[in-house]
Structure 1
């Protein structure tokens, strides 16, 4: 406070006299002589406060002024004193000077201090000013201040109103709920009038003519006040939404010392420094944009939803997405070169590590809200289109064309932040799922644009070094690889695949990534397998050499990584594709690719020496493969089980499961070979495989193959009792099935 040992000077006395020429008390602690024109007693602290706010000394500061306000305002007992101190504060040149030189981060403290003032006022008891009078006086002073000069004064009341609004929850708990009749109507009217004042003042505060400090403070006040179910047009109907969007994006992303870019300071903090927590708190956590990242994103999301369909707004969105992408790229590269580039960092109890991942999660969530607003605009634009209206159809085509490019840019940003998603998990993150899957679906329609994007993502050496020693040791880089592999899974399940892209780029790369002799990360290996299986299942073109190469890879990984069941199902997936659409050969040892594939499988039964029945540990989970019902027994239980447990069983069972696809011309000859392979197995294996052979012959064949298979079964196995089961199956077949 001021030097209380000195008396208020002539200037201060003149101020008090001008404020109250009648000579009545200005403060409850300052007596005045009724026979004197000027105060006779020594001024009290409140007098010094008013003087310091109107005429701050050289050593004064915004923080000091706000400290005075917090110390005195909740305890004011007289209405006139409250009016005087609010009016004096609004005329404080440090906070509200005409040049608006104060950084918005300093003036942001007005919001928090007025929340603290109001919270304290709500909690203290009489004999201070009644709560209704407190609220009424402040609103009246702010209203009069704006009305006096709206263009100059409007922005100054916004942080004060926002601070008051932040206390509404506490206000309602302490007053409206327990004293509904006394306070309900008063506060309802106050809320209506104060919101109207805020909207009026905001309309005068957001303009290109104002400096960034005023615009940013106004946007922060707006973000704190805005509720998600409100319409932004009710706040800024006369302001270009493109201007607000641009300023919000810049406030969030661009400023190196006040936007989310302050998170880069984490990379310069030593986690082992005893002062590291204090540094994070002071230089990062207390930054206004960091504290209100979600509020700003909610507001930005709402504005994107309102944009009309005009080329200039498409350009605006693309520019904003580039700003976000560049920020994410910088975060990713910095993280790669830091102590946070490690899976253990996400579970590290060190405060710096904990805070880093907390804020990176917040950044991801904030960006998802922004992307959600952009994509919701697309959904609202394409719903309810009149298909037969040529003008509407043309408009729809233009919208879809724009959103193909927008979606590619969104995916590019998600690619850079995938390391954050992996650290927090995707479960329950519905907004992320909406953004990811809709963006992917739209991007897939871009054709070569999608392929080129993923090529760049995984093929750019500046982003990913695929050399095994490098990738194995780089958590952030692996996250980027996993993101691309996930996109490829979706690509392969669509009807928009390009066989040239699959053959010349995707296949060899995924075979390499799925090779556990090179890469040690289970997630990478699993994702590589998934892409390969999808490529075999959904590609219209393939090479028998590719299948053979992949089968050898699977065999190498059994049983250390892949179980016998997984091995069988994976190979069966390849076989069904090859056998359903075989490639014919001329002047070759085999008539077609189907026969060559089965012959290759059959020959592999002669080279498999390991027959371990132990269940492999740390298995790679091949998600696209369906689970087989049944249990895996700890020991050989061939009579009841349905799941193979040795590589020999797995390979033979694969051929058995492919029986429905065997050509009729060689059907029984292949059954003979299968029987020979079964006969060469151990007794327990032979019993299991015989059961599975009968299951395939009796349940999975069409009429022609049923007849051939049962005749063969009767001749080879000599089990006539099984004919009853076959006859029952034939009786239940429809006429159409029998004619096939």
Structure 2
């Protein structure tokens, strides 16, 4: 059979007439119209593209024809012509960014085909023809043609959700099994083509296009090794790091373009999309990150794997440091930039958030590898001394590198908020746990912290802290490290005394600093310094710090922050007071209590404070936003319950305890007082006295009653509204927060010495 007889009408028309005249007879004896048809021009353009032909134009032809084709033969002819198109598929011709559009185009083509309503080729036939052509195309020349089918298959597979909604789910018998089988064969062809494409001899454009095709095809719950069983994981990780972070044209380094845009440009939104947000790597950043995470999970446990991880983290750290430096010198490093409503600022911080989240995903894969290895090791003597020890030692170095890398991105976390970053919390706290697991890595963290807080990384000048958000983000990150450091048992007292305490104290004592989040973070670090029993405390420094805290209320510190600080510090002093000789005070506890008493007496009544500020705790510099101090204030919002002190202590009532049954019925149980429901102080005197009241559970027994009298005197010296509120808070502490011994003394003092029932103290409060 001749070639002429095999061709369809359009193909025979291209060959020209076989005899004289202006027409010729077709293979089936039918008359063929003179001259080429529209389809013939399309095929010719696809197979013999001119130099002026662009990838966009070729894909435009495909989009306008493939979904509506009515003849199976024509579908095969056009699709085969596209596979041989020199504009799209000549190695070294079109770039990675141009060829990426094939993925988008075939998703759009498939979506259109699935939803088109006019009579066309049946959907099952359409899918069958395309797969057969792709399969034959790869088989014809597996080494040259494999990379060409990957973006096409990826684009088609991206439409699976729409396909299943329209066809498989409504009609499982007719379409479900067919598409299930088609997906299986498409996966096998994709894996076959991918294995013959991901090789060092191919160009960067081809490898990057293949990796992106894999990223949009791979699902996170799948086994990644099933896609690339014969390709080196090290090779894939190296190329993915390069694709995501290293290329100046289309990797995440396109953030540089933000600094050149004019905020007042007319078509700024379109320009941002075309030059930044719609770049292939940016658009599919999450998919690429999940892909890299999966490869890190399966990276072999050996020296090569460790070196590969460290090299990748080093490149990410350099990227982050450069990003941080460039942002610091830009318009985006402005106190109100995150609140700016301009398109440029919104898109910039959205991009920064995506970068931060993608790195969390990548590092999560590295850390998960460590956990999975340790869980599978068991407790054999060989795993402990050979493999487990080595990998834990290596991961301490990895953890230090992770901490240093995220230090450069902390300004992003501060600007966009910490909600929804569970991945970051996981990698951050796991890294710190690894670091604190051995003394050498702790020493390295101490050195790293001082390096990160020193010049040229950070400037602690008040003006710089106030007006440089990136500088503040770096300071907060280091203070967060110190908070964790102080909560471990393996810290260095000399390091705390020489570095942590003086730096943080200088920050909170600097009246020029207006960035309250920095002041609060420094306070939370200092409170941990003083509350930790293993830290060597200087009483003079402690008293200076207490005085500083009291003087900063209410200008800087809220009522609850004041209460937390006074209680935390008071607990330390009152639990182990230092005896004085030749002093007006008997011991340090006496000096501390007299100081608080003096401040309460000299705080004027009736000065209102901000109610909104009163309910805030110290903001921690860590991802978890509050310091969890054991404060009496924390329990104030809990629902009142009947609390029997004797039952709570699970011992018999002492014989000399005042029999509760003999007291007037209305005052038997503390909770029977109908006290005012207000729990938050509204004036500065209420807040100051309340912090004094909250020290009652820690008063030494030897002076317990004497200080109850002084506290009561301070309360009685307040105005009527303050007195009413403070009595209710005082009784709440006496009735709910004391141990058995103090409870006995307090009840006797309340009912016998103060004669609360006879004087109607409880009833006076209950009338409110």
TM-score range, shorter chain: 0.7 to 0.9
Cα deviation, 1:352-385, whole Å, max 9, x if unaligned, reads 2222222222222211111111111122122254
Question: C-alpha separation between the residues in 2 aligned to 1:329 and 1:291?
Answer: 23
Paired position in structure 2 for 1:621: 617
Residues 364 and 417, structure 1, Cα contact 8 Å, conserved in 2: yes
* 1:331 and 2:323 matched: yes
2:555 aligned to 547, 553, 560, which one?
560
SS at match of 1:383: helix
Describe the shift of the 1:698–1:34 C-alpha distance in structure 2 as closer, same or farther (beyond 3 A).
closer
Paired position in structure 2 for 1:486: 480
2:81 aligned to 59, 67, 88, which one?
88
SS at match of 1:129: coil
Question: C-alpha separation between the residues in 2 aligned to 1:669 and 1:177?
Answer: 79
* 1:461 and 2:445 matched: no
Paired position in structure 2 for 1:526: 520
Does 420-429 or 38-47 show the bigger shift? Answer: 38-47
Does 119-128 or 201-210 show the bigger shift? Answer: 119-128
**What are the within-5 Å matches in structure 2 for residues 383-398 of structure 1?**
383=375, 385-387=377-379, 389-392=381-384, 394-398=386-390
Question: C-alpha separation between the residues in 2 aligned to 1:509 and 1:365?
Answer: 31
* 1:210 and 2:202 matched: yes
Which 5+ residue runs of structure 1 have no aligned equivalent? 1-16, 632-636, 726-740
Paired position in structure 2 for 1:131: 123
Following TM superposition, by how much is the alpha carbon of 1:88 offset from its aligned partner in structure 2, in angstroms? Answer: 2.4
SS at match of 1:340: coil
Following TM superposition, by how much is the alpha carbon of 1:238 offset from its aligned partner in structure 2, in angstroms? Answer: 0.9
**What are the within-5 Å matches in structure 2 for residues 678-693 of structure 1?**
none
Question: C-alpha separation between the residues in 1 aligned to 2:709 and 2:336?
Answer: 55
* 1:25 and 2:25 matched: no
Question: C-alpha separation between the residues in 1 aligned to 2:182 and 2:75?
Answer: 18
2:53 aligned to 46, 55, 60, which one?
60
**What are the within-5 Å matches in structure 2 for residues 144-163 of structure 1?**
144-163=136-155
Paired position in structure 1 for 2:394: 402
**What are the within-5 Å matches in structure 2 for residues 648-687 of structure 1?**
654=691, 657-659=694-696, 661-663=698-700
Following TM superposition, by how much is the alpha carbon of 1:219 offset from its aligned partner in structure 2, in angstroms? Answer: 0.3
Question: C-alpha separation between the residues in 1 aligned to 2:486 and 2:377?
Answer: 30
Question: What TM-score, normalized by structure 1, do the two folds share?
Answer: 0.85
Paired position in structure 1 for 2:221: 229
Following TM superposition, by how much is the alpha carbon of 1:274 offset from its aligned partner in structure 2, in angstroms? Answer: 0.8
Question: C-alpha separation between the residues in 1 aligned to 2:156 and 2:163?
Answer: 10
Residues 512 and 518, structure 1, Cα contact 8 Å, conserved in 2: no
Describe the shift of the 1:665–1:146 C-alpha distance in structure 2 as closer, same or farther (beyond 3 A).
same
Question: C-alpha separation between the residues in 1 aligned to 2:718 and 2:48?
Answer: 100
Following TM superposition, by how much is the alpha carbon of 1:576 offset from its aligned partner in structure 2, in angstroms? Answer: 0.8
Following TM superposition, by how much is the alpha carbon of 1:140 offset from its aligned partner in structure 2, in angstroms? Answer: 1.1
RMSD (Å), alpha carbons:
3.5
Residues 563 and 694, structure 2, Cα contact 8 Å, conserved in 1: no
Does 550-559 or 204-213 show the bigger shift? Answer: 550-559
SS at match of 2:227: helix
Residues 151 and 210, structure 2, Cα contact 8 Å, conserved in 1: yes
Question: C-alpha separation between the residues in 1 aligned to 2:85 and 2:205?
Answer: 17
Following TM superposition, by how much is the alpha carbon of 1:169 offset from its aligned partner in structure 2, in angstroms? Answer: 2.1
* 1:549 and 2:544 matched: yes
* 1:46 and 2:39 matched: yes
1:242 aligned to 234, 243, 251, which one?
234
Question: C-alpha separation between the residues in 2 aligned to 1:126 and 1:692?
Answer: 77
Question: C-alpha separation between the residues in 1 aligned to 2:343 and 2:3?
Answer: 52
1:611 aligned to 581, 600, 605, which one?
605
Question: C-alpha separation between the residues in 2 aligned to 1:245 and 1:600?
Answer: 62
Give the number of aligned pairs: 699
Paired position in structure 2 for 1:12: none
Describe the shift of the 1:491–1:317 C-alpha distance in structure 2 as closer, same or farther (beyond 3 A).
same
Residues 649 and 689, structure 1, Cα contact 8 Å, conserved in 2: yes
Cα deviation, 1:133-190, whole Å, max 9, x if unaligned, reads 2221221111112112212221111111111112222222333234433222222221
Following TM superposition, by how much is the alpha carbon of 1:592 offset from its aligned partner in structure 2, in angstroms? Answer: 4.7
Describe the shift of the 1:355–1:676 C-alpha distance in structure 2 as closer, same or farther (beyond 3 A).
closer
Question: What TM-score, normalized by structure 2, do the two folds share?
Answer: 0.82
Residues 73 and 82, structure 1, Cα contact 8 Å, conserved in 2: yes
The one of the two structures with greater contact order (alpha-carbon pairs below 8 A, sep at least 6) is 2
Does 642-651 or 345-354 show the bigger shift? Answer: 642-651
Residues 232 and 302, structure 1, Cα contact 8 Å, conserved in 2: yes
Question: C-alpha separation between the residues in 2 aligned to 1:144 and 1:496?
Answer: 65
Which 5+ residue runs of structure 2 have no aligned equivalent? 27-31, 619-625, 638-673, 763-768
Paired position in structure 2 for 1:69: 62
